Structure 1
Amino acid sequence: MDRKIIAKVRGQRAVDGAGVSLVRVLGLNTVKAFDPILMLDSFDSTDPNDYIAGFPEHPHRGIETISYISRGNMVHKDSMGNEDAISDGEVQWMNAGSGVMHEEMLPASERMLGVQLWLNLPSDEKMSNPSYKSIKNSEIEEIEFEGGKIRLLSGSYKDHKGHKGEHLPLDYYDIHLEKDAKIKIDTNRDDSIMIFTLLGDVYIGDELIEEKTAVKFSEGDFINIKNASEYAQVLFISSKKLDEDIAWAGPIVMNTREELEVAFNDLRNGNFIKEKIDYEE
């Protein structure tokens, strides 16, 4: 059964961090529809003044942050003194778990193009040990098909295997489509599936999906994507719906207001960091 479009969200300009201009696509108003993806921010600029102020040190708890830099650079520092950088085509994956302080800086580049996702953690794993992983280009398989390729950022595609997260499963593909190219992606019927059009427009069935649009799908066995531009780049994201209560304030996402109060009390009292970060290159 072909999956149908059940929600469609076009990104809107916003400013976050120390003055970073970005396109905010998913957030508080889309939590239920796009579960377990809490937030999706897209970066696309050729003007370094839009982003070089970056995201100075700030806390996270209860989520995983997954940053894909298709073009450009990102430097990560965390509360345990770790520092790492990624560039064109690479991924930073951080489980904030019980608590992390970190910063993300965006050095000037010819073009800054990428996406950050916030992936919710199940209620019984929100206080898990934090961890950090950078996924370098040498670890990302490129799978060619007629008229394009898939970059396997995480999870699996057919018999191909990529990085596997420690908590919720996440199949994350960067799909490149040449002019008139199309692809059929088979899916598990009950997985939570969405796409984001990072560059260019595409067709889902007969419906045109414009650039910088997130689309959520019904249950089903496959989706068909066809390029409607000279060139398109589509992010495919598959996970498992949690269907849990969410209490969200700023950079912290828990399940109850009481848990949020504990988190912010921990911040005020200097007890926010519970575990050392497990750092892996």
Structure 2
Amino acid sequence: MERKIKQQVRGYRTQDGAGVNLVRVLGNRTIQEYDPILMLDSFDSTNPDDYTAGFPMHPHRGIETISYVYRGYMTHRDSLGNEDTIGEGEVQWMTAGSGILHEEKIPASTRLLGVQFWLNLPAKDKMAPPAYRSIKNSEIEEIELENGKLRLLAGEYEGRKGYVSKYLPLDYYDIHLNPHSPMVLNTEGERSVMVFTLLGDAYVGGELIKEKTAVKLTSGDHVEIMATDKSAQVLYISSKLLAEPVVWGGPIVMNTKEELDKAFDDLKKGTFLQNSISY
């Protein structure tokens, strides 16, 4: 059965961090439908003033933050002592788990283009040890398609394997399609699948989807994605539905109000970080 569009969300312009202009697509109003994806922000600018203010040091608990920088660069620094720069097609994967502080600096470039999304952690893994991992271009396989290419950012595609997520299964593809070109993706029937049109409009399940739009798909074993008369760049994200309670407060996502209150109490008392060094 072919997957069709169940819901679509068009992003809106806003600011976050120290004054970074971005397009917020998913947030606290889309938690249930896009489970386990909590938030999705898109970055697309040729003006460095839109983003060089960056995101100063801030806390997270209970989630993983996954950033894909297709154009431009992003430098990560955290309370575990990690400092790393990704860019030009690379991925930053941070497990906040029990608690981490991190900052993201975004240097000026010809163009900044990419996304960051928050992947919820299962209740049993909310307090997992924090960790950081980058996925460099040397680890990302580019698979030639009949009508374009697919960059395997994480998970598996037709027997080919990329970086494997530790806590939730995640297939993450960056799909580039030539004008008027279709492709059919086989999907596991009960996986939670969403698509985001990063650049250009595209037909998803036969329906025209405008650029910078996230769509949640119905269940099924395949979906067709097709470019219009212009090329398209589409992100495909597939994971496991958690169907767990979500209690969200700023940068912290837990399962109960008590857990959320404790997280903020830990921040106040200076007991938020475990296995970390302080800045």
Aligned residues: CA RMSD: 0.9
1:183 aligned partner: 183
Greater Cα offset, 177-186 or 57-66: 177-186
SS in 2 for 1:28: coil
Cα contact 2:100–2:273 (8 A) shared by 1: yes
Segments ≥4 residues shifted beyond 4 Å: none
1:153 aligned partner: 153
Cα contact 2:86–2:134 (8 A) shared by 1: yes
1:115 aligned partner: 115
Structure 1 spans left out of the alignment, 5+ residues = none
Pairing of 1:50-69 with structure 2 (within 5 A): 50-69=50-69
Q: CA deviation at 1:82?
A: 1.4
The CA deviation string for residues 122-162 of structure 1, in whole angstroms up to 9 with x for no partner, is 00100001111000000000011111000000000011000
Q: CA deviation at 1:12?
A: 0.3
The CA deviation string for residues 233-271 of structure 1, in whole angstroms up to 9 with x for no partner, is 000000000000000000000001100000000000100
The CA deviation string for residues 86-121 of structure 1, in whole angstroms up to 9 with x for no partner, is 110000000000000000111000000000010000
Amino acid at match of 1:25: V
CA distance in 2, matches of 1:134, 1:195: 22
Q: CA deviation at 1:275?
A: 2.4
CA distance in 1, matches of 2:80, 2:209: 42
1:144 aligned partner: 144
SS in 1 for 2:260: helix
Percent of counterpart pairs with the same letter?
62
The CA deviation string for residues 148-186 of structure 1, in whole angstroms up to 9 with x for no partner, is 000000000011000001101110000001111111000
Cα contact 1:36–1:239 (8 A) shared by 2: yes
CA distance in 1, matches of 2:147, 2:170: 25
2:48 aligned partner: 48
Q: CA deviation at 1:228?
A: 1.0
Amino acid at match of 1:105: K
- TM-score normalised per structure 2: 0.98
CA distance in 2, matches of 1:80, 1:31: 29
CA distance in 1, matches of 2:93, 2:188: 24
Cα contact 2:2–2:205 (8 A) shared by 1: no
How many residue pairs get aligned? The number is 277
Pairing of 1:199-214 with structure 2 (within 5 A): 199-214=199-214
